[in-house]
Amino acid sequence: MLQAVQRDENVFFTGRAGTGKSFLLGHVKKIAPKQGLFSAATTGIAAFNISTTLCASLVFPLSETVSALVDGMTVHHFAGYPQKSNSIIDSKRTDLIVTAEELLSHDMDELKEATHVRNVEIQKHFVRTKKLSAEMKARDESIAALRAGFTDAFESAFAAMAVKASDAFHVRLDETILAQEMREDNVQVQFNEFINVTIPSIIEALQGTITRRLDKSHETFDIDNTKLLKREKKMTNQVESHERKTAQAFVDEKERRSTTFVALQEEMHTTMRTDDRQVRRPHNGSISIKGKDSTLWEALAEKKQSGMIETIVALTSQYDEVRRVREAEDAELLEKVSSAMERLHTSILSSFGEEKEGVGDT
């Protein structure tokens, strides 16, 4: 026989196996699946806890409801349900019902406590996640500012070096080389005047006895001219070689700087990845960079910056040294050319002047 007992918000079904306790409990679950806590035991008791609203709507006895449920059953049969009240009924299963009620209340308390603990843990997790997100955002902003500072420093240094190199080339092209070209044009004019005016007049004055000496002088002049052409060709080759070396030096310097910048950028990326791995290591559920770690980070950044500045200063010194060496070589080469032209001019004037004096004496 299936019996139902209601005590406040707890409802108990008792009966032997096969009397329909689980069937009726399942029906109540379908009616109000979110209204209470349902449980069934192998001791012949089924119980559920219902809310105040559902408790007001469920009033025992459940004769009509049970009869409606039994009509659809083919295996289980029920003898009937006597009317029960909220008072305790003396029965052999009263102790079991009381025990089940206590267990149900205990389970409800444990469930509430577990839910509260889980909610607290979830809230702590949310707080830690929010803190970690703020720290990661601050780290990214710091890295972006550092990268922007390094980029501006490199760009300004490169621009300053480019301006210095451009000014040096402008000075060399517009002043030094232009002055030497003007000097060369003047020497060429004087040489042409000497060849086309001075020598013909002297030859006309010294015809006769000076023919052989003049022929010899022509031969000497041809030899000197050949030497001069060879020397000029050599100087031209040296100038072309100097231009090629200069162009190649600029190409090599550009490639070296590009390689240096790429290496520095890779080193920065490697450092950032290392810092990222160090920052992501959990420490007591939170991340912080203070004290010695902050001082070490600042020291490393200062060391890298000083190394880069020393590299830039070394490059500037190397550029100045190469510029001084090449200026000295160019000045020496032009001085040699000028000295050779002056010696040739003096030799020719001396030779023809002696002949002119000899002719006057005779």
- Give the 3-state secondary structure of 271-291: HHHHHHHHHHCCECCECCCCC
Highest mean pLDDT among 63-67, 191-195, 274-278, 335-339: 191-195
Give residue 128's pLDDT. Answer: 92
Number of domains into which the chain is organized: 2
Residue 232 included in any domain:
yes
205: pLDDT strictly greater than 70? yes
Last residue of a domain, one of 43, 73, 92: 92
Overall average pLDDT of the 137-141 stretch? 92
Residue 256 included in any domain:
yes
302: pLDDT strictly greater than 90? no
Burial category of 74 from C-beta neighbours within 10 Å (exposed 0-12, middle 13-18, buried 19 and up)? exposed
Highest mean pLDDT among 53-67, 136-150, 220-234: 136-150
Question: In 3D, which of 111, 76, 81, 110 has the Cα closest to residue 11?
Answer: 81
| Residue 3 near residue 15 (C-beta atoms within 8 A) | yes
Same domain, 64 and 151: no
Same domain, 310 and 227: yes
Same domain, 287 and 173: yes
Residue 112 included in any domain:
no
Same domain, 161 and 53: no
- Helix crossing, 63-71 with 21-31: angle to 10°? 100
Same domain, 78 and 206: no
C-alpha to C-alpha distance for 82 and 1, rounded to whole angstroms: 10
Contacts of 271 (CB under 8 A, 6+ apart): 300, 304
78: pLDDT strictly greater than 50? no
Q: Which residues of 124-152 are buried (b: 16+ CB within 10 A; e: fewer)?
A: eeeeeeeebeeeeeebeeeeeeeeeebee
Give residue 143's pLDDT. Answer: 92
Host domain of residue 57: 3-92
Same domain, 76 and 10: yes
Residue 267 included in any domain:
yes
Contacts of 137 (CB under 8 A, 6+ apart): none
Overall average pLDDT of the 324-333 stretch? 86
Give residue 1's pLDDT. Answer: 54
194: pLDDT strictly greater than 50? yes
- Beta partners for 37? 49
β-bridge pairing 37-40 and 10-14: unpaired
C-alpha to C-alpha distance for 348 and 217, rounded to whole angstroms: 8
Phi, psi dihedrals of residue 223, rounded to the nearest 5°: -65, -45
Higher pLDDT, 291 or 254: 254
Residue 105 included in any domain:
no
Give residue 257's pLDDT. Answer: 80
Give residue 31's pLDDT. Answer: 63
What is the model's pTM?
A: 0.23
Same domain, 79 and 178: no
Phi, psi dihedrals of residue 33, rounded to the nearest 5°: -70, -20
Least confident of 176-180, 222-226, 272-276, 279-283: 279-283
